[in-house]
Structure 1
């Protein structure tokens, strides 16, 4: 592939990596990871609510990785309540999983920035070392994509398997019991998915630029290339 096209591909990949880093940082700071509704089952059972009356006992909840808010509905109007994960909810949530999600988000941001820098270096510089060259770009893209996948797996297990929304809804509730009525992942969660796909796309862009995937068998094993040739 001609050099100008390689530069264009590497610049495109660098811009995408930078956009992923910024998008992940913005996603971490929002409360738009999960949205749902919670049913005040105790209040609904007391008055035997059904049909349209049931809506008077359905509140709303949304949260991110650090904080969130819920609206408590028990038949007497909505009562908003703000909460934070640190340190209030650490006793009732799977703290190890939650901290791991935040840690992998940080790693994703760092390696996306590193990848963006090295993509630009490969576009306008003369890389000669493994971590600086195409093999390094494959490495940074693979790590970033893997971190994005781990974030989604861990957070999904925290929400669905450990019933995170229900635990938050019943936090400091002594009289009423709340159950999850509906629940869906919001914009920030899908931002992580998009970032993972973008890093996978970056790996394909490296291949389109003419560089073989790591550990692939070279076509001509007898040909010696690189800096070693300068020694002979």
Structure 2
């Protein structure tokens, strides 16, 4: 492929990698990772609520990695309150998983920025092999994509398997018990998924630029090796 086209491809990949870093940083700071509704089970059972009456006992909850907001509905109107994960909720949530999610988000931002620098260096500089050349570009894209996948897996397990929303809703609740009524991942979670897919796209762009995937042997070398073996 001609050099100008390679520069364009690497520049596009660098811009995409930078967008992923900025998107991840924005996602980390928002409360739009999970949104849902919580049913005040105790209040609903006391009045035997059903149908339209049940709506008076369904509140909202939304949260991110550091803080969130919930609206309690126990039949007497909604009461909004703010909460933070650090340090308030660390005693009731799977802290090791949650901290790991935050660390992998940081790693994703760092490696996306590193990938941006190396893509631009390959586009406008004079790179050499190892970590500056195509092998390095594949490496940074792979690490960033792996971090994104780990974020999605760990956070999904924290929310679904460890019932994170329910634990938050019942935090410091002495007389009322809340159950998850509905729950869905929000914009920031899907932003991480898109960023992971973009790094896969970057790897395909590197291949499209004419560079083989790592650990693949060119056919010419295999033919030469076979000829040498026959000589001996």
TM-score in same-fold range (> 0.5) = yes
- TM-score calculated relative to the size of structure 1: 0.95
The offset of 1:222, in angstroms, is: 7.0
The offset of 1:129, in angstroms, is: 3.2
Q: How many residues align?
A: 224
Q: Partners in 2 of 1:193 and 1:128 — Cα distance?
A: 32
Matched with 1:150 is 150
Q: Partners in 2 of 1:22 and 1:219 — Cα distance?
A: 40
**1:31 equivalenced with 2:31 (yes/no):** yes
**1:188 equivalenced with 2:188 (yes/no):** yes
Moved over 2 A (4+): none
Q: Partners in 2 of 1:190 and 1:61 — Cα distance?
A: 18
- TM-score calculated relative to the size of structure 2: 0.95
CA RMSD of aligned residues (A): 1.1
Query: SS of the residue aligned with 1:86?
Result: helix
Matched with 1:45 is 45
The superposition leaves residues 6-43 of structure 1 with CA deviations (integer Å, 9 ceiling, x where unpaired) of 00000000000000000000000000000000000000
Query: SS of the residue aligned with 1:32?
Result: coil
Q: Partners in 1 of 2:177 and 2:143 — Cα distance?
A: 42
The offset of 1:223, in angstroms, is: 9.4
Q: Partners in 2 of 1:115 and 1:105 — Cα distance?
A: 15
Structure 1 regions of 5+ residues with no counterpart?
A: 225-232
The superposition leaves residues 73-96 of structure 1 with CA deviations (integer Å, 9 ceiling, x where unpaired) of 000000001000000000000000
Structure 2 regions of 5+ residues with no counterpart?
A: 225-232
Q: Partners in 1 of 2:23 and 2:176 — Cα distance?
A: 38
